[in-house]
């Protein structure tokens, strides 16, 4: 084990495990998009047929890659568009970082609650043969929950250093 991981606090260890799992899910989703697209193109060009519902699966997998990319970006690699940080001193910026992370966790938790309610209503309304489509929509509440968790962990841990391993 690396010294940085071995000496990490519990929130840091939780975050590192989550990031590894999320990276794997995002990578597998992206590879599935590529493979499914290639197979679909080959099937249409050479066999004059296609894979049923492949376009729907690809559309949802794009959402999976996008949402997991957003979750992975919370670790500090995302673009921060807050103008206020340009206008305040470094001391105030450091004082406000953790409360902003906790506020972001609260916003994402609220979005998780709304997404979970929406997904549950979609699941109930879906016909039995379309439940697989509704199941793929679970990405919305899952990723808002993960975003909330990551922001809360960042609030406990503090901001990331400039460079860090995944």
Q: Where do the DSSP E strands lie in 32-145?
A: none
The pLDDT of residue 89 is: 78
Instruction: Say what the pTM is.
Output: 0.77
Query: What does each of the 166 residues of the chain score in pLDDT, given as a tens digit?
Result: 444 556 778 888 888 888 888 889 889 999 999 999 999 998 888 888 888 888 888 999 999 998 888 888 877 555 565 666 677 777 877 788 888 889 989 999 999 999 999 999 999 998 888 888 888 889 999 999 999 998 898 888 877 655 444 4
The pLDDT of residue 166 is: 44
Task: Report yes or no: 154 and 101 within 8 Å, Cβ to Cβ.
Answer: yes
> Other CB atoms closer than 10 Å to residue 29's CB: what's the count?
21
Q: Is residue 133 part of a domain?
A: yes
Q: Is residue 71 part of a domain?
A: yes
Domain tally, the chain: 1
Q: Domain range holding 130?
A: 8-157
Q: Is residue 163 part of a domain?
A: no
Q: Is residue 164 part of a domain?
A: no
The pLDDT of residue 5 is: 54
Alpha carbon 96 to its chain's center: 24
Q: Is residue 162 part of a domain?
A: no
Task: Report yes or no: 164 and 12 within 8 Å, Cβ to Cβ.
Answer: no
The pLDDT of residue 76 is: 57
The pLDDT of residue 85 is: 67
Q: Is residue 1 part of a domain?
A: no
The pLDDT of residue 3 is: 46
Q: Is residue 61 part of a domain?
A: yes
The pLDDT of residue 55 is: 87
Q: Is residue 113 part of a domain?
A: yes
């Amino acid at each position: 084990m690396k010294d940085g991981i071995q000496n990490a606090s519990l929130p840091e260890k939780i975050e590192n495990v989550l990031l590894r799992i999320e990276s794997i899910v995002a990578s597998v989703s992206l590879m599935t998009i590529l493979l499914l697209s290639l197979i679909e193109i080959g099937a249409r060009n050479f066999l004059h047929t296609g894979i049923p519902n492949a376009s729907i699966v690809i559309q949802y997998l794009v959402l999976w890659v996008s949402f997991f990319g957003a979750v992975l970006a919370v670790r500090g690699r995302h673009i921060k568009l807050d103008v206020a940080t340009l206008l305040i001193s470094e001391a105030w910026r450091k004082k406000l970082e953790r409360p902003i992370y906790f506020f972001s966790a609260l916003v994402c938790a609220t979005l998780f609650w709304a997404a979970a309610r929406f997904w549950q209503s979609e699941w109930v309304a879906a016909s039995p043969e379309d439940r697989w489509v509704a199941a793929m929509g679970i990405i919305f509440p899952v990723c808002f929950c993960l975003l909330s968790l990551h922001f809360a962990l960042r609030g406990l841990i503090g901001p990331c250093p400039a460079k860090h391993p995944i």
